[in-house]
Each structure stands twice: as C-alpha cells, then as structure tokens.
Copies of this chain bind each other. A is one copy, B any other.
Amino acid sequence: MGLNLTKLKVKLLDILAGKQTIILNREDAEKIGVHVHDRVRVQSGSNQITAIVQVTATFIDSGQIGIMKDIAEKLHVKDGDEVNIRLASYPESLEYIRKKLKGVTLSKDEIFAIVRDVVEGNLSDLEIAAYLLAEEFYGMSMEEVEYMARAMADVGEKIDFEEPVYDKHSIGGVPGNKVSLLIVPIVAAAGLLIPKTSSKAITSPAGTADTMEVLAPVKFTAQELKDIAKKVRGAIVWGGGLNIAPADDIFIRVEYPLALDPESQMLASIMSKKLAVGVDFLVLDIPTGKGAKVETMNEARTLARKFVELGERLGIHVECGITYGGQPVGHVVGPALEAREALLALQGKGPTSLIEKSTALAGILLELGGLAMRGKGKGIAMEILTSGKALKKMREIIEAQGGDPNVEPEDIPVGEHRVRIEAPCDGYITDVSNDAIKKIARAAGAPMDKGAGIILYGKRGHKVKRGEPILEICAERESRLSEAYALAMKLQPITVEGMLLQRIPEYR
C-alpha cells in the first residue's frame, strides 16, 4: 500500500478536531477501500499527516475531504485546495494494543510508542480504552508500570527545581481530605521545597486544586511554579494547568464513562507526575476504609509496597502513610468550606482528626528531609503548626500565587441556601457514607459552585440526641439545594442506629 493516490478537494470545517481525524464521503471511502477507524496519509505539497478516517453519507460530497481547522493548519491547506490521500498503515502502537489485548507483556519501546500516540492524537478513544481495559484485565508487570510512568513523564513537560523536591500525594476516594493545605505550609515552613501539583475534582466534590483556588489562583506555567516555589518554598497549583504528563487527562477521559480505574494505571499516573516535577521524596497518603478507594488494610499494605518499589525503580524515595478513610476527613466537604476549615486548622482551631493526620504525614517528610529523627517528625510538624509558622507560610504561599494573604476563614463565602438534617432519634452515629456525601455535595453544586458543600455535625461514634442537627447542606443556588436535599433523603448519608433521616423545617 502507499502508491494509490486519490485527489480530493478540501472542505474546510470550522471545528477543532483535537484528534488526527478527517472526514470522507462514503463513496470515496469505498473506492479507496478505507473504513471508519482506518488511517489515511493526507499530503499537500511537502506537508503530510496521518489521520483517522470518519465517514459520512451526506455532509462531505464525493470528491471532497472534510478537514478541520487544526489539521488544516498542520497541512497548510485552505478551503478548495487539492490534497492527495492514500491508505496508510495503522500506527505500530495499535499493534501493541492488540498484543496487550491478548495478554502479552509489552516492552519499554512499545509502551512509549502507545503513550506518544495517545498524546499526538494518533489513537482513537476506542483504541485507548481497549488498552486500559487490557490493563484492567491482565494487569501490568512492575516493569511495564515503570515504563508507563516514564513514558507519561517524558512525553510531557518536565520541571527541574535544581534541588531536592518533597511532595505529598493522597489516593482519592475520601471527601474532605484537605490535608495538603496543611502539609505544604508546614513542610515549606521547615525549609523544604514542596511545589505541590494537584488536581481538580472529576467525580469528587473538591480536588485540592479546587479548594486552593478559593484562596488563590492555581493555574501557572512551569516557570511561574518554579519562581513561586523558589521564593516561598511551597506552592499548591493545578497540575492540569501545566503540561506535565499530558497523556493522563486523555486516559482519564476514556476511563470515565466506563468507571474504569486500573490499579497499574493509577500507579503510573501518580508517579509520572512526580517524575515530571523531579520529586525526590514523596509521602503517600493511603486513606483506607469503607467507601475509600482502598477498603482494607491488606490492600493498603500491598498497594504501599507497590508504590515503594515503583519509587525505587524511578529514583523517588516513597514512604506511605495508611490513614483512616472510612468517613470524610474533618467536618466539611466542598471547596469553600474546606478552605475555611484548613485555615482554621492552621490557626489551631481545626478538627483534631485533620490536624493529627496532617502533622503525621508532614512529619514523615520532615524526617525524610533530615529535619527530624525517625519518629520525631510529627512532633516537629505539630510545633510548626501550633507556633503559627505554618499559617504564616500559608499566607506567603497565597500571596505568591496572587491571592489575598490576609484572608480570614470568615471572609470565605459559603452558599447561603442551606438545609439542616437532624438526628431522628437518640443514639450513636454508626456510619457516614463517603459515597453518599460526595454525591450530595456534588448535587449541591460542588466543585463548580465553590460555596456548595456539606457540614457534618457528627461523625462515626458520636452520640447524638434526637433533633440535634447532624448534617447541613450548603448551596449557592436554591435549585441545587433541593436536588441535594432530595438526594440526601434517598441516600441517607449518615446512619444513626438505622433510623431514617428527617428534615427540619419540613421541605415543601
């Protein structure tokens, strides 16, 4: 193949393809002998690209080729120009995906080829999904995970901070986990460099980037992040704003409709981003418990060992902290509420559980950085917190990122449409469901409505009296509040000895 040229006239489409795709008329496709998902080589003068074929019966006439704006720019063609096209072989990476679908272990080169083609748009979503499904079914060897992490890092931008970099990462699944907003300033106040990149929520009510964004901008270029971190030793920015490990967003996009989350890909994804920003020491928070991503201690230990091994392969010193993840962390969920709670905790007024967890994890980093003896890190982290140094550092970070350094917790607006749910009887709270809390907070508008969220007045083991409020939903919009309330009635996020929940005042 390769010699049969067909000449077609460009019909320029005012759409961004995003992917390497072109559109052919069904008749032409038949004549050329190409099918949907086949690849063609499109050539204009000395410019050529390979693109995936879409076929239409009516929109593109026979003799035409539909070319979208971004592809037209690559080819330097305009409406009405003539281009040559011919059937192209599919990218080799598709052959590797087919191999993986048969359970074959892939080589370093094969994995790099897949990641490169994912980022360059040479593979369709369907093909990428097939790869991830094969990962889910067959798993990946630790070597494959290593290559995947390296490939994902190498294909994107890298930042070199030119000194040891410390970092903290939490495995997802637990709402209210705003510990980064405490750990980063504690560790930076101690003098270690901790330029944290974080994510926005996909299925949760608040990612760290969503919460930090309440206090300061989070979108920066690599150079800006470097400048900020060098100046104040710490930062909490949105990883999606940088171009690090760009394959990850694409993987997440195709995993999302399938509710797919292969463990091997999670390992590679997290570590690829650490590689890209040159992390040397990482503390990994593994929240464990019902409704968290990791449900049992055994799973947590196995996962921890994998992270440590992968870290060794990648030259990153990883220590894992298995934490309790059976219910939300702290007492609030949602960007504004969490930013508030974090500030309060930095002022010594936060919930004990949040402070305990944050200082424990920060302490591990202080030990890794040689600033505390083994076992003494948490105490030092706590000192930094209670002395107000962490708060001062957080204000410096907020200022360096362009926020208001003098922000006080009460300055942060929280949704004014509210409804309380009260205990229907005396008793102990036996369960606070991570999953229900996340769904209700999202229904209330989080994370897009920053002020939306949930306040928990009681958590597991708390004794409550009939009529006491146990949960409050906050929303910026009345319509969102009623949706969230309806969902809360259905999902029963808090269980008090099995009784149904009621609303006071009665909702119309």
Q: Which A residues have a C-beta under 8 Å from some C-beta of B? A: 1-4, 13-16, 18, 30-33, 35-38, 56-59, 69, 90, 94, 97-98, 101, 124-127, 129-130, 133-134, 136-137, 202, 253-254, 256-260, 442-443, 445, 448, 477, 479-480, 482-483, 487
Contact = CB atoms under 8 A, between A and B. Distances in A.
Contact of A2 (B14, B18, B94, B483): B483
A15 B480 contact: no
Contacts of A448: 30-33
A98 B57 contact: no
B98 A259 contact: yes
Given A1-B483, A15-B56, A35-B256, 7 more contacts: A2-B483, A16-B59, A90-B257, A98-B259, A124-B257, A126-B126, A133-B133
Kindly list the 10 A-B residue pairs having the minimum CB-CB distance in the complex, ordered from nearest.
A37-B257, A126-B129, A125-B126, A133-B133, A126-B126, A15-B59, A3-B479, A137-B137, A33-B448, A130-B258
Given A3-B483, A15-B56, A16-B56, A257 B443 contact: no
Nearest to A56: B16
A13 B69 CA distance: 15
Contacts of A33: 442, 445, 448
B57 A133 contact: no
Contacts of A136: 101
21 contacts: A1-B443, A4-B477, A15-B56, A16-B58, A31-B448, A32-B448, A33-B448, A35-B253, A35-B256, A37-B253, A38-B257, A97-B258, A98-B259, A101-B133, A101-B258, A126-B258, A127-B258, A129-B129, A130-B133, A130-B258, A130-B260
B4 A98 contact: no
Contacts of A98: 258-259
A57 B69 CA distance: 13
Q: How many copies does the complex hold?
A: 2
A15 to B, nearest CB: 5
A482 B257 CA distance: 46
Contact of A3 (B126, B127, B260, B482): B482
Most chain B CB neighbours (cut-off 10 Å) among A202, A259, A442: A259
A253 B442 contact: no
A296 to B, nearest CB: 18
A35 B98 CA distance: 28
A58 B38 CA distance: 27
A300 to B, nearest CB: 21
Nearest to A257: B37
Contacts of A31: 448
A257 B126 contact: yes
* Interface hub of A13, A101, A258, A479 (most chain B Cβ within 10 A): A258
A491 to B, nearest CB: 13
A37 B483 CA distance: 22
Nearest to A477: B4
A323 to B, nearest CB: 27
Contacts of A36: 253, 256
Contacts of A202: 35
Given A101-B258, A101-B260, A137-B137, A4 B479 contact: yes
Nearest to A259: B98
Contacts of A18: 56
Contacts of A38: 257
Which one of A32, A101, A129, A202 has the highest number of Cβ atoms from chain B below 10 Å of its Cβ?
A129
B3 A57 contact: no
Nearest to A52: B257
Contacts of A69: 59
A327 B162 CA distance: 64
A246 to B, nearest CB: 15
A276 to B, nearest CB: 23
Nearest to A125: B126
A3 B487 CA distance: 12
A263 B14 CA distance: 42
Contacts of A32: 448
